[in-house]
Chains A and B, each alone.
Chain A
Amino acid sequence: MKIPLSRVIFTSIFAILFFIGPFMPRYILFLINEILLWSIFAMAYDLSFGYAGMLSFGHGVFFGLGNYGAAILVKDLRMNLFIAILFGVILATIAGFGIGYITRARGTRGPQFAILTFIITVTAYLVSLTLSWITGGIDGISFATPTVHLGMWELSLSSWLVRYYFSLVAFIASFLILCRVKNSPFGIVLLAIRENEERARFAGYNTTKYAILAFAISALFAGFAGAIYGLEYGYANPTFFQVNISLNAILWSYFGGSGTLFGPIVGTVILLPIVDYISKHWAYYWIAVGALLIIVVIKFPSGIMGHLQELVHPSGEGRKEIA
């Protein structure tokens, strides 16, 4: 039996990440933690953008809903951590279904879909600022980070090491599930929709249903990332409802190679520390993000993984998966 190279690489990276945790300084732990959480988000984003070809500016809504759903349950109702995460994820998934249904049900697709998600997100941000009795207005809400009860252990999420392992487990789970989704026949149909929706429909697939489902799954994992982010850092904030978040995800997945399994992760790993560094030294760092986005889209459209694949399959087997 031949084991794919990528599987070996990823298993060893996970193993290394598991063992180096206790030996890392706090800043590195923080950085890896951020990368892990935002990678979940980027992978989720790329299911809708890279696979189904639905350019969405609305994933901030899902991240924010997961964030607030979990935070409110933990803060006001003192619920169990896992119930809180589940609640946030359910909220985000329902929103994903709703927005997917409204925007796709009557055959809206392509760029009109993108504009609709843009309108919905900007309005959702306004609404979240107005509902300050829930969302805490522009300051958001903050609370004491909860404790994880695992059998006999009680681990407080206020420790960086616990946060790190918590994110790592969440990341590996999401990664495996999303890989499974993307490599399944369902994922192949999504690729077909991206390439040519008419043809996929002629082949007998109900493309609307597939697209809405893909969007909802994408929303589910975006909400998952948001819920964990909120619980680990102990705050929820309306800024997560903004378009910025989707913009980051577009940049990361485009840079790494959108429509590939590992592209979004590679993009996050490389760009998140760079942008983090720029943001510390330059108040107008969004100019850098916007400029990077424009340069990547115009000059470097297939991304790192896309170029690697062209090296591996120079015959032009398209963007077939490496895994």
Chain B
Amino acid sequence: MIEQLILGAINGIVWGLIIALIAIGFNLIFGLLNIKNLAHGEFFMLGAITTTILIRPLGDLFFWPSLIIVPMIFFGLAYPIERFLFRPISNSLNATLIVSIGLSYILQQVGLYIFGGIGTRIEFPIGGYINIAGFSYPIYRLFVAFLSSIMLILLWLFLYRTGFGLLIRASRRNKELAMSMGIPATTVCAFTFCLGISFAALSGILSMSIMPIHYLMGADAFIPALIAVIVGGLGNLGGSLLAAIIVGEVEGIGAVFFSPTEARILSLLLLIGVLLFRPTGLFGGIRK
């Protein structure tokens, strides 16, 4: 029993870090552009599907370059979406929500069109198992946790230790003021949008061999990520990281005792509890 709990906890951390990549990308976009992008989960799905399709003819080793190439592709694809869909209506929150949900249906169908309706699974790109508490645990999952942490640390360094990160934080605090100081806030916003999307795509690639690849897989990861976003406080980047790990643990340890769907209900109950007792989220709302 103890071993299973430990296993569940480790799975929870891996899962938590995966959804943290999505949640932080979502929150980054929300905090700067005031867009709640409900199509975010579909970029997760498309990242996984694109990589699967690239791997088929090019061989398994192509997984490694695709970790860099595919997020860059989505970085480029995200720009027209921001420019032509979201920028014209950036002053209306309801309109951006509706546009993003419309976009998510389009992207889902695109996924269905290029990938077909049948789900697949791919082998772990790193074979081999490591012995943890009497269980053999796949090394690849630990690698996923490692790489996600690296990416989160890099993002933190980028935001808080570089000049461009300073521009992002300045535009996030007060866009008009930043623009009057000569910061190209519109470009900064577009860049941040693309950055958030490419994080979602990266997270999709990392979870390819952990969950079944399917054109509807977006919701499987996006819903816990959204729960984490609200539990951690909208717009609060650190909060959503912590909340993502909490949600990951709830689902990971919950999966020891219950079915995955019941574990999902458990995290929904967590969300409802947080909403009723701390409506701004566990760690407070937007912290500029």
Which residues of chain A have a CB within 8 Å of any CB of chain B? 53, 55, 57, 102-103, 105-108, 110-112, 114-116, 118-120, 122-123, 126-127, 129-130, 243-244, 247, 250, 254, 284, 286-287, 289-294, 297-298, 301
Contact = CB atoms under 8 A, between A and B. Distances in A.
B155 interface: no
Q: Which of B105, B109, B234, B268 has the largest number of chain A CB atoms within 10 A? A: B105
6 contacts: A110-B94, A111-B94, A116-B275, A119-B230, A130-B261, A254-B98
B95 interface: yes
Given A120-B268, A130-B261, A284-B109, A294 B103 contact: yes
A126 B219 CA distance: 10
Contact of A289 (B95, B98, B99, B105): B105
Interface in B69-128: 85, 88-89, 93-95, 97-99, 101-106, 108-110, 112-113
A107 B275 CA distance: 10
A293 B95 CA distance: 10
B276 A105 contact: yes
B275 A111 contact: no
B190 interface: no
B275 A287 contact: no
Given A55-B94, A107-B279, A114-B94, A298 B261 contact: no
Given A120-B268, A291-B102, A103 B109 contact: no
B36 interface: yes
State the main secondary structure of chain B at its contact with A. Answer: helix
A176 B213 CA distance: 48
A55 B98 contact: yes
B226 interface: yes
Given A55-B98, A110-B93, A115 B106 contact: no
Interface string B209-227: 0000000000100010011
Best-surrounded residue of B85, B102, B112 (most CB of chain A within 10 A): B102
A106 B275 contact: yes
B36 to A, nearest CB: 5
A49 to B, nearest CB: 8
A111 B109 contact: no
Given A106-B275, A127-B265, A297 B99 contact: yes
A290 B102 contact: yes
Nearest to A114: B97
Contact of B93 (A111, A244, A289): A111
Contacts of B94: 53, 55, 110-111, 114
A111 B226 CA distance: 13
A108 B279 contact: yes
Contacts of A254: 98
Contacts of B93: 110-111
A123 B95 contact: no
Question: Closest 3 CB pairs between A and B?
Answer: A293-B102, A106-B279, A290-B105
A120 B226 CA distance: 11
Contacts of A107: 279
Contacts of A291: 102, 106
Contacts of B172: none
Interface in B28-69: 36, 38
